[in-house]
Structure 1
Amino acid sequence: MAVLKSNGVLELINESDGKVLYSIDIKLLKRSEVREVHHSIFESSNYLFVGAIEEMRLESLTKCQYTDGSILPQISKQLPKVTRIIMEFPYRIDVEDWLVALKSFTVRQYVGLSKSNLFRVSRRLKFDILEAGLSEERLDADGKPVKLYAEIQMWGAPWYRTAIVDSSRNPFFREEFELDLPLNTKSFTVALKQASAHNYQQSDIVIGSAVLSYEEFHKDQLQTRFPLLQGQYSQVGQICISIRNKTNYILPPESFNNFEQILLNLNFKQLLNYVVSKHPQSDLESTAVVLLDIFQSLQKENEFFSALINDEITKIMDAPAKSANLYNSLFRGNSLLTKSLELYNLRVGQEYLEKVIGNFITGLISSHKPTEIDPMRIREADPALKKKAVDSNFQNLLHYAEEVWKRIYQTSNDLPDTIKQQLTILRKQIELYTNDETITLNCITGFIFLRFFCPVILNPKLFFLTKEHQTGDISRTLTLISKILLTFSNRSMFGAKEPYMERLNDAFITPRTPQLMDYLDKITGKKLDFTDKRLKLSSSLERTDIILTSKDLLKELPTVPFLIDKYLRLDQLADLVTNEVINPDVIDDFGEASDEEVDPDNSSTNLYKIGSLEFEKLVLDKKEGDGEKFDFEFGSEKFIKTLLDTSDSDGVYSYINANSSLKDIIIESDRLSSKKARLAAKLCTGETASDIIDINKFSKSVLSTTILDPQRRIMKAPARVPSLRYLNSDSSLNFKFRFRSSSTANSSAPYFDDDGSSSVTGSQTTRSPTKKLSMMIKSASISSFQTALSNNEEKRKTKLGRWFKKKGTE
């Protein structure tokens, strides 16, 4: 059992006696060090990783950063060697709540120069492992082909695995993963492994591996082949991978206040049509994900789906030539509505599917009864024996079809209410345009059967219901069951096209059609559902409110349920809408050149500001000299209220937003895109001391995080480590600097002569110290400043501050 305390300490408790086994200080971890564990690792999505990742921290070190050999914090007092744990939870909602609660105490990872000018970097890779090509087939000791699988490794550990497949010279995987990479992670490894059994083992042999660097997957690539190496040079084959990379630079939540208000008061239909018109049909799914996440996080999914349904029905009704086929094809093709509602149903219905369809498929696989009823597919020469086999297989198939339908029908009251709400909206909207019940029911079954139940039955591995892809007889059985359910849901009959299926018309479809009509009425609110609830779903449990942290901090964390990154999606929507053309190389170069991590919530972070983008803020003084100021974004709600200074300012602000138009959202998207581009360009440009406001405070921060290491080099280091010798200490009063010229040294770090001499080589110019110190400034940590220093320290660093200012303006 685990308890997270209000001070950020996670205590692991023995359930038998209530004693604390050991505790972990979550505040010492970075936000990317609390992560979900992919379903493929433990065959469950209910696991979290919590711990310090040494390899990732090493990747973030700069040349001027000091380390004593170990950069892992001591997160546990009881067990100093414990650096990471895996947490298992009974329900998915527990994973979501704990992930958000734990991340709220971690060190936030931002890129920027101060609290007012920063952004968060999101790097997501859709990574499709297609197949491998081996120089020779792998055989075991008995001469039989071995089992193979691919594994994605980061920081010395596996994070994703494909299914185990039979070996050949060209093993086929076709599995897609989405990787969320921290900014400092420059590479990961894809290893092809030989499975020792039907389960994954830590001792499985690595056949070959490919290391993919960021430069290789920086841009989208389709079916690129990477060499599989055994050791350092021996190539054993190739692996074919498709990569789609998406990097977003996300401004702080307050930057989206106006954008969000405009969005909430905008005509959804206008926005949706505009977005679809700007982007090709091939990007329909990614567009649907962005819009669905936004409106779901804003709790506006009902309005979102209503606008989509109304728009699609209107297009059909306005068509010049109407026919029965046109109406019957309504919602059957790929559109923004069908993609969005399909994704939504699968998202909210995942747990339901696992308990209803997942258990059924598990039993089907274990029983493995033959179900082939096509005489052409049965290899039996004797007609009598063939007929007997067909009759026996038909009974097996009928039993499976009856079982899966019974599970669906008897759990109508367990189907998530959110799915039933959307189906109810769908039915009401359609009935406003037509009285034809056939058209109405076809639209409903198109979503609940064609896009919900049948895809899961056809490919259970894709929805995490099975560990491996199903092939052979099992795959054929699942295909036949899906075909029966689809025909049944359409109230159709099998005909001459598939004569071997006609027996199911009388055996299954006709006697159960009344149940189907009853089921459709219940899930669309046409009649009350008094069916007993049979499943214990997490949606029926009461969720715990996360009150351990401030509401402002929670805005930066994923929303619950479903862990939606709201501001990532708002940023992506702004990119979809904007007319601004931003040069991605400017931001990409910045991402490669600087990987400083800033914690904007650190109490001493805002000691100084780089004087850029401050025009984005407006500071109003109430009275000259009274010291009270208002600091907020131009055009924000606070800004308008301050200008109005009336009791009715809330109503006026609501009135302004109530008149939002498509033009407003485009203008605001352009503003956000321009702000990101300007900030990225500023961060790419080397800054000097003259750019810094309040140079004295900055000087203090530099000196309090700069040390003289054993090699007599000046290095960046964490503040207040007792064993280190900082430049702001009394022992450093007599330090004398000497700077190498660029022609005589490769290192950018200043150093001391062995004798403490301050002599300078003749090749140095007067601007060399300024140049070197500006490089120190660029690499200085902004997240660990001291705010209280002795009088002697104040005096020394005030002098140094004046020196900075003088040199920076020469």
Structure 2
Amino acid sequence: MIVRCMTAHRLPARLGAAPVARTRAKPAPDPHWDELFVFDDVPPDVTSFTITVQNAGKRGKESEVAELTIELSTLANGEEVEEWYPLAGMTPIGEWGSLRLRIRFMHELVMPREEYSPLRQLLLEPGLPAVRALAELCRADRQPAATALLHAFTECGRGAELSRELLQAEVNRETDPRAMFRAASLATAVLDQFMHAHCKPFLQAAIAETVQKLIDAKQSAELNPTKMDSPEDACNNAEFLLMILDQITLSIFTSPEACPRPVRYLCGCLQRAAVAKWPNERFVRTRVVSGFIFLRLICPALVEPRAWALCSGAPPPHAQRSLLMVAKCLQNLANLIEFGAKEPYMEVVNPFILKNKERMVVFLDQLSAAPEPGASPPNANNNSFDIAKELATLHHICVAHLAELQTMAKTQPAIRKLVTVTEMLTKHKHKYLEMIR
């Protein structure tokens, strides 16, 4: 079961928060957490879960003030739901507000690992036809599918191959190179998780020092006049932002060797695929890699540094805005685009972009110049995941999309095998269920 505690609405002004598994304290009335909690192997006698909201008092004292209980029987098996849930107060004071949750509950029998061998072998077939079929079908279930697939391929040292094949499929599917990696798909979910697993040392080398400097600084890098305390701050803020941009680009541009070889290899694959598809598109080899590295790695890490282990706590509000401004400027530089009339207050950054365009092109080419890393040794990363559970998740997703797979199987022989294996595993699972009963 996966629960993401997202945000709340109209909480009483004195509330903090500490739901089950404990979020960090946030100020009322509209706290925003967006914290993810994963509960594996929930005991079968658990039929509901309760989230309790507490006041974070002085000296660490806390008091329970409101709660909500959700019955697991009300959740569709394997489907993600995102809703506002009303809170009930411990004492009657009127309305207690509501909590927004994104929940995915999966009740699945996990058979012994050897039962899933046919499915595993099918997924690992050369060219990955079964994976490509799932990529066309997975929508709301793309995140659990991405996790399960990446674990299944990583276990046998083929995580980079999975990412490469899905990346190639993403290029084949896209009609506009400027839209690469902007859609939510199985491919982008796998790539995000692949980079999250490999790129923390690179982020430490490239941006961690700047992140900490912005968190510690009293000076703001805000340029939006509607978000400044005083219009007189504009000049100092701009000078500070440009100084930070010079520092972080130097750090990034001198760190290509810190980027893991599998990720650099994928960048090279992406360049070659994009140039082959759009040979007359100027700068396409640069922009597709910048979308991969900046749009989905460096800029998200700047905006959410705690999620990438770049800081221990949430940055203070002024630092969060500064980090956002830096990410915004780097994204434009990575896209080789200056700021325009829509945001006139950002035009002060354009000389910096013009000065660094060529350096960005050179950096992305250097980053992409890496040979194929080859297969990693099985279990080289001391993986702790349960492969039977991951394959059970993939079987569950295949069952959910069985009708669509059956339609695809009429013209694709490789998909017929996936349908056959899915139906066979379903029969085996029913036999195990009968034994349990």
Residue 167 of structure 2 corresponds to which residue in structure 1?
309
The amino acid across from 2:419 in the alignment is I
Q: Find the counterpart in structure 1 of residue 243 from structure 2.
A: 399
- For the pair 1:245 / 2:105, whether they are aligned, the reply is yes
What count of residue pairs does the alignment treat as equivalent?
419
Equivalent position SS for 2:221: coil
Q: 3-state DSSP class of the match of 2:427? A: helix
Q: Deviations over 1:747-774 (max 9, x none)?
A: xxxxxxxxxxxxxxxxxxxxxxxxxxxx
Determine helix, strand or coil for the equivalent of 2:16: strand
1:624-669 residue CA offsets vs partner (Å, 9 max, x unmatched): xxxxxxxxxxxxxxxxxxxxxxxxxxxxxxxxxxxx9332232122
Q: Which residue of 2 aligns with 1:271?
A: 130
Secondary structure of the 1:165 match is coil
Q: Distance in 1 between matches of 2:41 and 2:2?
A: 8
Preserved contact between residue 442 and residue 490 of structure 1 (Cα < 8 Å): yes
Match of 1:489 in 2: 334
Q: 1:208 Cα deviation (Å)?
A: 3.7
Paired with 2:278 and 2:75, the residues of 1 have a C-alpha distance of 51
**With structure 2 as the length reference, what TM-score do the two structures score?**
0.82
Deviation at 1:513, TM superposition (A): 2.7
| Secondary structure at 2:220 match in 1 | coil
2:193 to 343, 349, 371: 343
1:569 aligned to 2:429?
A: no
The alpha carbon displacement at 1:520 in A equals 1.1
1:195 matched to which residue of 2? Answer: 56
Given residue 256 of structure 2, which amino acid in structure 1 is its aligned partner?
S
Q: Within the alignment, does 1:448 sit opposite 2:293 as a pair?
A: yes
Partner Cα distance (1:191, 1:333) in 2: 35
Counting strand residues as a fraction of each chain, which structure ranks higher? 1
1:167 aligned partner: 28
Structure whose residues are more often helix by fraction: 2
RMSD of the TM alignment (CA)?
3.5
CA distance in structure 1 between the partners assigned to 2:94 and 2:434 by the alignment: 42
Residue 83 (structure 2) aligned to one of 223, 248, 267: 223
Task: Please tell me whether residue 365 in structure 1 is matched to residue 242 in structure 2.
Answer: no
Find out whether 1:669 has 2:431 as its counterpart.
no
| Cα distance between partner residues in 1 of 2:400 and 2:427 | 10
Contact 1:494/1:501 (CA < 8 Å) preserved in 2? yes
Deviation at 1:181, TM superposition (A): 4.0
Q: For the Cα contact (< 8 Å) 1:348–1:416, is it kept in 2?
A: yes
Q: Summarize the Cα distance change of 1:283–1:252 in structure 2 as closer, same or farther, 3 Å threshold.
A: closer
Cα gap change, 1:349 to 1:581, in 2 (>3 Å): closer
- Name the CA shift for 1:296/1:492 in 2 (closer, same or farther; >3 Å): same
| Match in the other structure for 2:434 | 681
The equivalences for 1:583-602 within 5 A come to none
Shift of the alpha carbon at 1:239?
Answer: 4.7
Cα separation, 1, equivalents of 2:401 and 2:237: 62
CA contact (8 A) 1:580 1:674 kept: no
Q: Which moved more, 1:243-252 or 1:469-478?
A: 469-478
- Which residue number corresponds to residue 409 of structure 2? none
Shift of 1:338: 2.5
**Aligned in 2, Cα 1:244/1:367: closer, same or farther, shift over 3 Å?**
same
Shift in CA distance, 225/570, structure 1 to aligned 2, threshold 3 Å: same
Q: Deviations over 1:783-807 (max 9, x none)?
A: xxxxxxxxxxxxxxxxxxxxxxxxx
Equivalent residue letter for 2:64: V
Taking the aligned partners of 1:165 and 1:580, their CA distance within structure 2 comes to 40
Is the contact between residue 223 and residue 345 of structure 2 (CA under 8 Å) also seen in structure 1? yes
Output the TM-score relative to the length of structure 1. Answer: 0.47
2:407 alignment partner in structure 1: none
CA distance in 2 between partners of 1:253 and 1:417 (Å): 31
1:490-524 CA-partner distances (Å, limit 9, x unpaired): 12222222222222222x22332333223212211
Q: For 2:181 and 2:76, how far apart are their aligned partners in 1?
A: 37
CA distance in structure 2 between the aligned counterparts of 1:267 and 1:485, rounded to whole angstroms: 36
Secondary structure in 2 aligned to 1:373? Answer: coil
Cα distance in 2 for partners of 1:579, 1:328 equals 33
The structure having more radius of gyration, on CA atoms, is: 1
User: Which of 225, 250, 255 pairs up with 1:411?
Assistant: 255
Q: Secondary structure at the match of 1:176?
A: strand
Q: Which secondary structure does the structure 2 equivalent of 1:445 belong to?
A: helix
Structure 1 residue ranges without an equivalent (≥5): 1-123, 139-146, 153-159, 320-325, 381-385, 528-544, 546-554, 583-659, 685-810
Tell whether 2:39 aligns with 1:179.
Answer: yes
**2:408 match:** none
Q: Kindly tell me: are residues 359 and 248 of structure 1, through their superposed partners in 2, closer, same or farther at Cα, counting changes over 3 Å?
A: farther
Q: Percent identity?
A: 19
2 CA distance for matches of 1:209 and 1:520?
50
